[in-house]
Structure 1
Amino acid sequence: MKISTMAYYSHVSTGWPSLDTIIDHLRRGDNVVWQVDSIDDYQRLVTPFVNSALARNERVVYMRFARHIPLVEPRDNIVVYHLRTENGFESFSAEVHSIITRQGRDVCYVFDSLSDLQHVWATDLMIGDFFFITCPYLFELNTTAYFGILRNRHSFKAIARIRETTQVLIDVYNYQGQVCVHPIKVQHRYSPTMFFPHIKKKDELMPVINSVEATRLFSYLADHQAVSAQRRLDYWDRLFMQARSLLESGAGGAEKKDMVEQLSRLLLTRNKRLLSMIRRHLGLEDLLMIKERLIGTGFIGGKSLGMLMARKILTQDRAFDWSQVIEPHDSFYIGSDVFYSYIVQNGWWKLFMAHKTRTGYFSRAAELREKMLNGVFPEEITEQFQLMLEYFGQSPIIVRSSSLLEDAFGSAFAGKYESFFCVNQGSPEKRYEKFEEAVRRIFASTMSEDALAYRLQRGLDQMDEQMALLVQRVSGAYHQRFFYPELAGVGLSYNPFVWKKGMDPHAGMIRLVFGLGTRAVNRVENDYPRIVATDDPLVRPLAGMHDIRKFSQHYIDLLNLEQNDIQSLSVQELLEKQRPEKFDLLATRDEEADREMRRMGRPQKDIWILTFDLFLTRTSFIDWMKRMLSRLEKAYEYPVDVEFTVNFNQSDQLQINLLQCRPLQTIGDRSRVFLPSSVPPDRILVRMEGNFMGGNISQPISRIIFVDCQAYAGLSRSEKYSVARLVGRLNRQIPDREKMPTLLMGPGRWGTHTPEMGVAVHFSEINHIAAIAEISYQDGSLIPDLSFGTHFFHDLIETGIFYLAIYPESPGVEFNARWIRSLPNALEETAEEDTRLSHVVRVVDTAGLGLKLQSDVAGQRVICYRE
Structure 2
Amino acid sequence: MAKAYNKVSTGITGFDEAIDMLRLGDNVVWQVDNVLDYKGYVAPFVKRARKEKRRIVYMHFGQHEPLVDDPEIVWYDLDPDQGFEAFSTRVYDIITEEGKEVFYVFDCLSELLEYWHSDLMIGNFFRITCPYLYELDTVTYFALLRNRHTYATIARIRETTQVLFDLYHIKNNYYVHPLKVWERYSSTMFIPHKSTMKEFTPVTASADLAEIFSFTSIQAERKDYWNRLFDEAREHLYLNEEQQEKMKDRIILLMIGRSKRINDMVKKYFSLAELINIQNRQIGTGFIGGKSIGMLLARKILESQTEDPFEEILEQHDSFYLGSDIFYTYIVQNGWWKLRTRQKKMAGYFPLAKELKEKMLGGAFPEVIREQFQQMLEYFGQSPIIVRSSSLLEDDFGNAFAGKYESVFCVNQGTPEERYTAFETAVKRIYASTMNEEALSYRLNRGLSDKDEQMAILVQRVSGDYHDDFFFPHLAGVGNSSNLYVWDQGIDRNAGMLRLVFGLGTRAVDRIQGDYPRIVSLDRPEQSPLVDYQDEAKFSQRNVDLLDVKANQWTDRSLEKVLSLDLGTDPSMFAKPDHKTNQRMKELGFKDRRQYILGFDRLLKESAFPAWMRKMLQTLERVYEYPVDIEFTANFDKEGDFRVNLVQCRPLQTKGPGEPVAMPKTIDETNCLFHFTGNFMGGNVRLPLDYIIYVDPKAYMESSLEDKYATARTIGALNSKLKDDTVMIMGPGRWGTTTPTLGVPVNFSEIGNVEAICEMSYNIGGFMPELSYGSHFFQDMVESNIFYAAIFDGYPNVVFHPQRLLERENLLVTLEPSAIRLSEMVRVVHADGLEIYSDIISQRVLCQ
Give the structure 2 partner of residue 814 of structure 1. Answer: 799
SS at match of 1:681: coil
> Equivalent of 2:752, from 742, 745, 767?
767
1:135 aligns with 2:120: no
Deviation at 1:686, TM superposition (A): 1.2
> Could you tell me how far apart the structure 2 residues matched to 1:311 and 1:734 are?
44
Give the structure 2 partner of residue 15 of structure 1. Answer: 11
Tell me, yes or no, if the aligned pair for 2:530 and 2:679 is still in contact at 8 Å. no
1:153 aligns with 2:153: no
Deviation at 1:201, TM superposition (A): 5.1
Deviation at 1:334, TM superposition (A): 0.8
Tell me, yes or no, if the aligned pair for 2:693 and 2:729 is still in contact at 8 Å. yes
Give the structure 2 partner of residue 397 of structure 1. Answer: 385
Give the structure 1 partner of residue 482 of structure 2. Answer: 494
1:213 aligns with 2:208: yes
Give the structure 1 partner of residue 93 of structure 2. Answer: 98
> Could you tell me how far apart the structure 2 residues matched to 1:638 and 1:48 are?
60
> Could you tell me how far apart the structure 2 residues matched to 1:344 and 1:599 are?
67
Give the TM-score of the pair, scaled to structure 2.
Answer: 0.98
For 1:140, the aligned partner's letter is: E
> Could you tell me how far apart the structure 1 residues matched to 2:70 and 2:169 are?
29
Tell me, yes or no, if the aligned pair for 2:166 and 2:178 is still in contact at 8 Å. yes
Matches within 5 A, 1:238-387: 238-247=228-237, 250-387=238-375
For 2:379, the aligned partner's letter is: Y
1:72 aligns with 2:68: yes
> Equivalent of 2:706, from 682, 694, 718?
718
1:437 aligns with 2:425: yes
Measured against aligned partners, the alpha-carbon deviations of 1:562-613 in whole angstroms (never above 9, x if no partner) come to 1111111121233456666321111122223334445556526432211111
Consecutive unaligned residues of structure 2, counting only runs of 5 or more, are none
Distance 1:788 1:586, change over 3 A: same
> Could you tell me how far apart the structure 1 residues matched to 2:315 and 2:787 are?
37
> Could you tell me how far apart the structure 2 residues matched to 1:834 and 1:747 are?
19
> Equivalent of 2:777, from 792, 808, 829?
792
Tell me, yes or no, if the aligned pair for 2:569 and 2:637 is still in contact at 8 Å. no
Measured against aligned partners, the alpha-carbon deviations of 1:124-180 in whole angstroms (never above 9, x if no partner) come to 000000000000000111111111111111111111111111111111111122111
> Equivalent of 1:776, from 758, 761, 786?
761
Matches within 5 A, 1:606-645: 606-645=594-633
Deviation at 1:202, TM superposition (A): 6.8
> Equivalent of 1:676, from 656, 661, 664?
664
Give the structure 2 partner of residue 728 of structure 1. Answer: 716
For 1:793, the aligned partner's letter is: F
> Could you tell me how far apart the structure 1 residues matched to 2:11 and 2:683 are?
70
Greater mean alpha carbon deviation, residues 586-595 or residues 133-142: 586-595
> Could you tell me how far apart the structure 1 residues matched to 2:564 and 2:181 are?
75
> Could you tell me how far apart the structure 2 residues matched to 1:361 and 1:547 are?
48
Measured against aligned partners, the alpha-carbon deviations of 1:409-438 in whole angstroms (never above 9, x if no partner) come to 111000000011111111111111111111
Distance 1:544 1:499, change over 3 A: closer
Deviation at 1:115, TM superposition (A): 0.2
Tell me, yes or no, if the aligned pair for 2:319 and 2:460 is still in contact at 8 Å. yes
Measured against aligned partners, the alpha-carbon deviations of 1:478-514 in whole angstroms (never above 9, x if no partner) come to 1111111010010100002211112211110001111
1:837 aligns with 2:822: yes
1:757 aligns with 2:729: no
For 1:216, the aligned partner's letter is: E
Measured against aligned partners, the alpha-carbon deviations of 1:731-789 in whole angstroms (never above 9, x if no partner) come to 111232xxx10001000001101001111111111111111111111111111111110
> Could you tell me how far apart the structure 1 residues matched to 2:93 and 2:231 are?
37
Measured against aligned partners, the alpha-carbon deviations of 1:67-111 in whole angstroms (never above 9, x if no partner) come to 1121122512x1111111112111110010011111111111111
Give the structure 2 partner of residue 232 of structure 1. Answer: 222
For 2:140, the aligned partner's letter is: A
> Could you tell me how far apart the structure 2 residues matched to 1:767 and 1:655 are?
38
> Could you tell me how far apart the structure 2 residues matched to 1:52 and 1:211 are?
34
> Could you tell me how far apart the structure 2 residues matched to 1:711 and 1:773 are?
17
> Could you tell me how far apart the structure 2 residues matched to 1:862 and 1:201 are?
86
Greater mean alpha carbon deviation, residues 677-686 or residues 112-121: 677-686
Measured against aligned partners, the alpha-carbon deviations of 1:673-696 in whole angstroms (never above 9, x if no partner) come to 011021223441111111111111
Tell me, yes or no, if the aligned pair for 2:386 and 2:459 is still in contact at 8 Å. yes
SS at match of 1:221: coil
Give the structure 1 partner of residue 547 of structure 2. Answer: 559
SS at match of 2:58: strand
Measured against aligned partners, the alpha-carbon deviations of 1:700-755 in whole angstroms (never above 9, x if no partner) come to 1101111101110111222211111111111111232xxx1000100000110100
> Could you tell me how far apart the structure 2 residues matched to 1:287 and 1:619 are?
36
Greater mean alpha carbon deviation, residues 300-309 or residues 671-680: 671-680
> Equivalent of 2:726, from 733, 741, 755?
741
For 1:313, the aligned partner's letter is: I
Distance 1:753 1:216, change over 3 A: same
Distance 1:804 1:25, change over 3 A: same
Tell me, yes or no, if the aligned pair for 2:570 and 2:638 is still in contact at 8 Å. no
Give the TM-score of the pair, scaled to structure 1.
Answer: 0.96
Give the structure 1 partner of residue 839 of structure 2. Answer: 856
Give the structure 2 partner of residue 3 of structure 1. Answer: none
SS at match of 1:446: helix
For 2:234, the aligned partner's letter is: R
Greater mean alpha carbon deviation, residues 407-416 or residues 561-570: 561-570
Measured against aligned partners, the alpha-carbon deviations of 1:8-61 in whole angstroms (never above 9, x if no partner) come to x92222222221221111111111111111111111111221222111111111
Distance 1:458 1:74, change over 3 A: farther
SS at match of 2:46: helix
Tell me, yes or no, if the aligned pair for 1:594 and 1:604 is still in contact at 8 Å. no
Identity of aligned residues (%): 52
Tell me, yes or no, if the aligned pair for 2:563 and 2:571 is still in contact at 8 Å. no
> Could you tell me how far apart the structure 2 residues matched to 1:686 and 1:205 are?
90
> Could you tell me how far apart the structure 1 residues matched to 2:739 and 2:111 are?
53
For 1:113, the aligned partner's letter is: C
For 1:494, the aligned partner's letter is: S
Deviation at 1:859, TM superposition (A): 1.4
Tell me, yes or no, if the aligned pair for 1:118 and 1:235 is still in contact at 8 Å. yes
Tell me, yes or no, if the aligned pair for 1:12 and 1:26 is still in contact at 8 Å. yes
SS at match of 2:528: coil
> Could you tell me how far apart the structure 2 residues matched to 1:391 and 1:148 are?
41
Give the structure 2 partner of residue 824 of structure 1. Answer: 809
Distance 1:239 1:651, change over 3 A: farther
> Could you tell me how far apart the structure 2 residues matched to 1:406 and 1:213 are?
59
For 2:233, the aligned partner's letter is: A
Consecutive unaligned residues of structure 1, counting only runs of 5 or more, are 1-5
Deviation at 1:543, TM superposition (A): 5.3
> Equivalent of 1:47, from 43, 49, 53?
43
Tell me, yes or no, if the aligned pair for 2:681 and 2:789 is still in contact at 8 Å. yes
Measured against aligned partners, the alpha-carbon deviations of 1:321-358 in whole angstroms (never above 9, x if no partner) come to 22211000111111111111111010111110110111
> Could you tell me how far apart the structure 2 residues matched to 1:577 and 1:508 are?
33
Give the structure 1 partner of residue 24 of structure 2. Answer: 28
SS at match of 1:548: coil
> Could you tell me how far apart the structure 1 residues matched to 2:798 and 2:785 are?
25
